[in-house]
Amino acid sequence: MVVAEHLSKAYGKAQALNDVSFTVSKGELYGIIGPDGAGKTTLFRILTTLMLADKGTAAVAGYDTAKDYRAIRRLIGYMPGRFSLYQDLTVEENLKFFATVFGTTIQANYHLIEDIYKQIEPFKKRLAGQLSGGMKQKLALSCALIHKPEVLFLDEPTTGVDPVSRKEFWGMLLRLKQQGITILVSTPYMDEATLCDRIALIQDGRFLQVNAPQNIILNYPDTLWAVQANNMHALLEDLRDCPHIKTSFSFGASCHVTARKGMRPEDLAAYLKKKGHHDASILPVVATIEDCFMALMNKNDD
């Protein structure tokens, strides 16, 4: 459904995309996971025909993004990262406008947006600019779906949205997937990766790894420990100073640590005790997507 081959794009001396290739199958929920500035928005702008790549080619539903942009724009839905609807129009007026642009009506495809729109329908006379963050995202998704697109592009749809609205939004995406819509979604939130069929981890315009989330986790190469102590700032510094520790990153209320071959938990406990961390706890933990991302980053730095 979506094919990209050796895409590259630069802004002056800054390389936003660097030789990116991937495919997305029909009906797949595909995640592009990476921090701000990794190249996610540039990739989406190329795929949605808003920007031309410097090198490489891309196709959506068999149409070339450079040559067949009119055809592509008729069959995709696009929700950019920044709220881009008309803030001086009401909820209902925005939805009617986008339906009219695509030559359809709200009633024709209401079944697609019903689960989403019924949550904001009580506010249909309210100006879009006066909605909360979560409500704005639901309206934007409704407008992107009203013409029944074959492929839906969502660029960081939950950034700045509260945790409850994030959970609701992803529930909506999973229901849309069941209706056969191909979905590409980008996000900086690593925890959202596990909800996708496949993900691409992106940094500095390159794909570090592409696989099903669980496969990426299963392929994590090291034993991982969660280390805690009262003075977490000093703990992190001491862990990074230890020659037998490969990596150490702050991870919520603990530090996630990988050790070099031969290093045992009791050895680390003894080292930390010498550093004054008499209360340190060391527990084995299962890697997350974020741990896998950091491992790939560390490998590239090496």
10 by Cβ neighbours in 10 Å (0-12 / 13-18 / 19+) ranks as middle
Q: Which domains occur in the chain, in start order?
A: 2-216 (3.40.50.300), 221-286 (3.30.70.2070)
- Span 253-277, average pLDDT: 93
pLDDT of residue 301: 56
3-state helix, strand, coil in the chain (%, to 5): 40, 30, 35
Answer whether 192's CB lies under 8 Å from 161's CB.
no
Is pLDDT of 171 > 90? no
pLDDT band at 111 (very low <50, low <70, confident <90, very high): confident
User: How far apart are the C-alpha atoms of 65 and 46, rounded to whole Å?
Assistant: 7
pLDDT of residue 161: 77
Q: Which of 270, 269, 112 is closest to 181 using CA atoms?
A: 112
222 by Cβ neighbours in 10 Å (0-12 / 13-18 / 19+) ranks as middle
Q: Which of 30, 32, 18, 23 is closest to 1 using CA atoms?
A: 23
Is pLDDT of 158 > 60? yes
pLDDT of residue 302: 52
Whole-model pTM? 0.87
Mean pLDDT of the chain: 91
- Strand, coil or helix: what is 2? strand
Is pLDDT of 175 > 90? no
- Strand, coil or helix: what is 50? coil
Q: Which of 74, 76, 21, 22 is closest to 45 using CA atoms?
A: 76
